Chains A and B, each alone.
Chain A
């Protein structure tokens, strides 16, 4: 369970996150939907302890990542915005490395690794160096190492970005499975279909603010658009921005 209250973060003059509040429940998939530069990544970075909020409060299973980052990290599995791999290590070694860093060892680690490799359909490439991997195989490796410790809360920053159909399916499968096992899944996306297909709750974010939240049906009712994409465009104020450059767009470029 993740609870965020009135979160703020600014870089220089840019208010990247400007008063964001929402809750992601256990056993549910929450989608953070917004255009590029809306503040999704910055929000997640504060959640996964690598950025410190200027204001506001975060609770991960009741633990504040600001005061107890170590405790929060134990309860989080993260596929970050940048999930670079080590080209000279194999997929299995990546999973093992992160497992060991989480304090898992021996047979337990071996079992979890096998399980994840099977789940992500990666057995065939498990012992190859990732240097030769496709984008899909890389994402699956990064995902596997992120959840090797079976974290209660799973954060995924644009997990299906640029993936082919098969890999997208595998990732969606994992997300549904995690939800079924009672995990809290929070993922960000700028793709409407992605969010509507998976999410129980959608949080629409634009220019660092929450502009709407609720189930897909609630959003349709709220905006009066039957088509979710129209609803999204209306909510994020994209129509108004088509002429002018979105000032929030810089937020994801700046650190």
Chain B
């Protein structure tokens, strides 16, 4: 009896998977949902990294470099700075956005400099251009440093301590550093993984319940002697398989992506290596069967595919709450949270990605709890399939 129960469940599971694999829409949904996270995270990191690199590696076009060879030589020696010849019409070049910033050294620079008078240097820039600003700031800071270094030397030559000339010392403390922004982006990983699991499960969870009702195929299916439990379990297994596929796919993509993201450019020590990937999957995969079971239970109440989808969209927003709270840093992890589905996955993933050590027993307990709850949900669903109101309800 037990083997036939399993055999029947597998028959249903295989049918649902074949049916699913022929639905182009469901395949596209799965692909898009798996790609969503890696692509968004990749784009965010890339723009962050390229902005960072832009500031670090700056090419400075100089007009009239011959007027101040010592200054230009000093600039050339600064890390990340490349000197180029400036265009004839500096202002036009900046206005037409061919350059972000151009340094113009006037003819009288050497003369003024030799006379220990302020020697003029012009920075041609467009302050209305947001993304050019860090670069302009960088160049300006270089000149200020050059200026104050020389000023100090001149004071020392005259027997005055340079400290006298600096009554106020300004110290910058940047709160929104690139590192912090990068850490925030990393916080999105658990959220995306959970969304993928949910969407990956949705197609079969709705099609095999509400969809079956809407098509009018449920009645014929339930007249078969296969036990209701086996039918519900088969559908659950099929939904779980597709959701697992989606999670593994997105996990693999994230893993591949992080081999290419120049995290070190952002000054991050974070790595998405094999242990992090394994930990993330170990945290999320046991939740997948529960997600599917819950979706199926809810969708069984719906009379149509559309109705089921609107219930599930709401459910998805609810399941995203812990992830959203975590990315906004309003959630502090407490010990009990690990054992609550969804909250637990969020906490575990955050720890795994933050390289915090976790006792393996926690993973085991979380997995057992989630799967046990999933089985309870499947039982409840098979109970629903006995109700006349569910089978014939319109």
Report A's interface with B, CB cutoff 8 A.
45, 48-52, 70, 73-74, 76, 78, 80-89, 93, 97-98, 100-103, 129, 142, 145-146, 255
Cβ–Cβ < 8 Å partners of A103 in chain B: 4, 8, 225
Q: Which secondary structure dominates where chain B touches chain A?
A: helix
Tell me whether B19 and A86 are in contact (CB under 8 A): yes
Tell me whether B227 and A84 are in contact (CB under 8 A): no
If the complex has contacts A89-B18, A93-B18, are A78 and B223 also in contact, measured as CB distance less than 8 A?
A: yes
7 A-B pairs with the lowest CB-CB distances in the bound complex, closest first = A84-B216, A82-B216, A84-B217, A84-B215, A101-B224, A73-B225, A88-B22
Cβ–Cβ < 8 Å partners of B393 in chain A: 255
Cβ–Cβ < 8 Å partners of B218 in chain A: 82, 84
Bound together, the chains give a CA A93 to CA B19 distance in angstroms of 10
Cβ–Cβ < 8 Å partners of B149 in chain A: none
The residue that B215 contacts in the complex, of A50, A52, A86, A102, with Cβ under 8 A, is A86
Extra pairs beyond A84-B212, A102-B225 (16, CB < 8 Å):
A45-B392, A50-B222, A76-B223, A78-B223, A82-B220, A83-B220, A85-B215, A85-B217, A88-B18, A89-B18, A101-B11, A101-B12, A101-B226, A103-B225, A145-B220, A146-B220
Cβ–Cβ < 8 Å partners of A49 in chain B: 223
Tell me whether B225 and A70 are in contact (CB under 8 A): yes
Please tell me if B117 contacts chain A, counting CB pairs below 8 Å. Answer: no
Tell me whether B216 and A83 are in contact (CB under 8 A): yes
Cβ–Cβ < 8 Å partners of B392 in chain A: 45, 50-51, 255
Tell me the B1-53 residues at the A interface (CB within 8 Å). Answer: 4, 8, 11-12, 15, 18-19, 22-23
Return B119 CB to nearest CB of chain A, in Å: 79
Tell me whether A142 and B220 are in contact (CB under 8 A): yes
* Interface-centre pick from B4, B12, B215 (highest chain A CB count, 10 A): B215
Please tell me if B384 contacts chain A, counting CB pairs below 8 Å. Answer: no
Please tell me if B391 contacts chain A, counting CB pairs below 8 Å. Answer: yes
* Interface-centre pick from B22, B212, B225 (highest chain A CB count, 10 A): B225
13 chain-A/chain-B pairs, Cβ below 8 angstroms: A51-B392, A73-B225, A81-B219, A82-B218, A84-B216, A86-B15, A89-B19, A101-B224, A101-B225, A101-B226, A102-B224, A103-B225, A255-B389
Please tell me if B394 contacts chain A, counting CB pairs below 8 Å. Answer: yes
Bound together, the chains give a CA A98 to CA B392 distance in angstroms of 20
Report B's interface with A, CB cutoff 8 A.
4, 8, 11-12, 15, 18-19, 22-23, 212, 215-227, 388-389, 391-394
Residue of A nearest to B26 (CB): A88
Return B206 CB to nearest CB of chain A, in Å: 14
Bound together, the chains give a CA A76 to CA B217 distance in angstroms of 17
Residue of A nearest to B394 (CB): A255
Return A82 CB to nearest CB of chain B, in Å: 3
Tell me whether A50 and B220 are in contact (CB under 8 A): no
Cβ–Cβ < 8 Å partners of B212 in chain A: 84
Tell me whether B219 and A80 are in contact (CB under 8 A): yes
Return B37 CB to nearest CB of chain A, in Å: 28
Tell me whether B223 and A86 are in contact (CB under 8 A): no
Bound together, the chains give a CA A88 to CA B224 distance in angstroms of 20
Bound together, the chains give a CA A167 to CA B222 distance in angstroms of 26
Tell me whether B219 and A52 are in contact (CB under 8 A): no
Tell me whether A255 and B225 are in contact (CB under 8 A): no
Cβ–Cβ < 8 Å partners of B225 in chain A: 70, 73-74, 101-103
Bound together, the chains give a CA A236 to CA B295 distance in angstroms of 47
Tell me whether B18 and A80 are in contact (CB under 8 A): no
Bound together, the chains give a CA A200 to CA B18 distance in angstroms of 43
Tell me whether A51 and B388 are in contact (CB under 8 A): yes
Tell me whether A84 and B388 are in contact (CB under 8 A): no
Return A153 CB to nearest CB of chain B, in Å: 12
